[in-house]
Amino acid sequence: TVGPGVFHRELGEILYRGCGVSRSIDSLTTAIDEIRALRQRFWRELRVTGETGRLNPELEKAGRVADFLELAELMCLDALDRDESCGAHFRVDHQSPDGEAVRDDDHWCFASAWETRPDGTAVRHREPLRFTGVELATRNYQ
C-alpha cells in the first residue's frame, strides 16, 4: 500500500514527460495510458493513515490526488485534441522550420470547455474567442 504523495509525484513525472512544454501525439497518448494505469493503482493500492474522528491531512491529500488524476487525463486529452500549436499547447508536429509555433486560427480560435458525462466520456464544447481591444496576431520570437 502506498500513500497519496507517491501517486502525486508519479503523476507529476508523467505530465512532465508527456504534456510538458513540448508535446507530441505519441507523448500525449502514452501519458493518457499511464495516467489511467496510475488511477487504477491509486484506487487499488492507496493507503491513508491517520485517526478517525479527527482532521486527517492524509485523507485530504488523497482526495486532491484523486481530483488531480482526473484533471491530468483531461489536460492530456485536450492537448491531444487541439490539432495546432498555440500558447501552452505547443505540439512538435505543428511548428515552422525555425521552431516557431504554427497556429490554426481558422479552426481553433476558441476555448475548450470539457464536460465529463456520467459514462466517463469527455465531450468538448467550444467557447468562441472574440478580440475587440487587441488584434489576433501570431508572435515570432526569432
Angle at 27 between CA 24 and CA 32, to 5 degrees: 120
Could you report the per-residue pLDDT of 64-115, keeping only the tens digit for each?
999 999 999 999 999 999 999 987 778 999 998 988 889 999 999 999 999 9
Could you report the per-residue pLDDT of 27-71, keeping only the tens digit for each?
999 999 999 999 999 999 999 998 888 899 999 999 999 999 999
Under DSSP, the state recorded for 24 is: -
- Name residues whose C-beta falls within 8 Å of residue 70's C-beta, 6 or more positions apart in sequence: 39, 116
- pTM (two decimals): 0.88
C-alpha 66/C-alpha 62 separation (Å) is: 6
